[in-house]
Structure 1
Amino acid sequence: MAGTGSKSAAQNGFQSTANYIVSNELALAVNAAVTLQKPLLIKGEPGTGKTRLAEELAAALDTNLLRWHIKSTTKAQQGLYEYDAVSRLRDSQLGSEKVHDISNYIKPGKLWLAFSAEKRPVLLIDEIDKADIEFPNDLLHELDQMEFHVYETGEQIKAKQRPIVIITSNNEKELPDAFLRRCFFHYIRFPDAETLAAIVAVHFPNIQKQLLATALEVFFDLRQVPNLKKKPSTSELLDWLKLLLAEDISPSDLTKSDGGLMPMFGALLKNEQDVELIEKLAFMSRRGAR
């Protein structure tokens, strides 16, 4: 995020820059969460920039970004620390002096790193809905109190300052009410044509206006097709435009079709069901036009 430093972010709040476009509603949500010192829970379609938001916020504040990417097997304890009992047992069998200090086998997690940071960091808990349903509840105390106990060493880890916590969700499963109460919530609506054009201009400042207008028309028409299994996202639009520019495809080429499919359709359509659906709709449209 060039041209934006911590001073401007602190004085004016988080906002769009030359390299990153956010809606007014999202900027207000970020600033409200920072003011309230609550985690910001961001939901929205995949590809709408939820993860990028944390990256740009950290850049705007000139601070570190700690990423905790959640998987289906992730446990809340891993965010605090992990105790490597197997390594300690092995070292004990080998007669290593390390075994006398149990802290040698304690690996700090992302929350521990965030709590111990000298400068207030941004902590990204990415795709929290992928974890077990109990995962959010298991983090309630730590996110509320900003401290936790290390049982193996007897330490009490307290945050030096409250990190800015960004939590993303693709809405794959419902989150517990007790967890939701502790967050400031924002749903990223899919950008309108004007906002998308501004986002595209950041990535492709020299794109021809007619090509962009035609591409956006095709893109939004595609998103409005009923029963589409996966609607193309902002990131997929950018990939598609990059290919159009690389292949020097003209606006008129976009209105032509190969069996009902737009050029470079593989950047927008991600499964065979959607490809077949678009081909079928194009075939029916051609028959109706006869």
Structure 2
Amino acid sequence: MALFAVYLVCALVGAWIAFWRAPEWPRYNLLLAIAAVPQIGQVLGIRISEMFVVSVVAMTLWCLCNYRIAGVPMVAVGAAFNALAMTWHGGAMPVRADILAELGYHFDPGVLLEGSKDVVVHHSPLWLLSDWIVISIGTFILIISPGDILVAGGVVMWLLFSRTAALERESSMLACHSASHAETRKNLIPGHSTRPALTRLALLAAADPALAERLLHDPFDVANAHPHYHVTLDANDRATLAAIRARARTVGEFLGELAAEVDGF
């Protein structure tokens, strides 16, 4: 119950920070849920060795899918440390008997501790990755592993810094796009446009107010079914027209927005 209380408190604190900071949300979180189910089962006393393999595979896939998000690499390293120690001991996290004895708990090696995913061992070649770090606050005692610390640190990093990292990536992408667009405009022959289809459509609309009115309400059909001049729009042109139509309330605003797009502003 103490372990569940810790998990609950951590989840509530994390949810509050996430609401405050709005971090970058990872993808494929169903994999994370699949990875967590066997761990929860072990705490509840349901131990199926094959499920540990499922947990490791799901966690690995989730980390690979989200490695660009701040904090996820640290979570991956911590989870790998824990998985390595648990794999060596049949899917249970080892905890040394002498550490438990120092805390007043005496168990024989091989005993699976109730309410946890730990197994008591006399010694382990991977004891540095096992549960050996004791956190004691009054009567509350928790034994964790270095991997647990890394996982917790990764979660904190995700909560606090992933949004900033995502914004920096978006800014970098926008800067690259702007630089590319500027380079394209610089290399244009004077009088030419980077959006020839939109340019033609803008000229037709400026010359015919009725056409401009129809464009405001249904730009795609009008553009493709003009009585005299057929204008072929690509996906980018269609997206631009849809965005202009969503912003403009009058024909004048529509033409102004369209002219700005044609001019590259």
Q: If the length of structure 1 is used for normalisation, what is the TM-score? A: 0.23
> Between Structure 1 and Structure 2, whose CA radius of gyration is higher?
2
- More relative contact order in 1 or in 2 (CA 8 Å, sep 6+)? 1
Higher strand share: 1
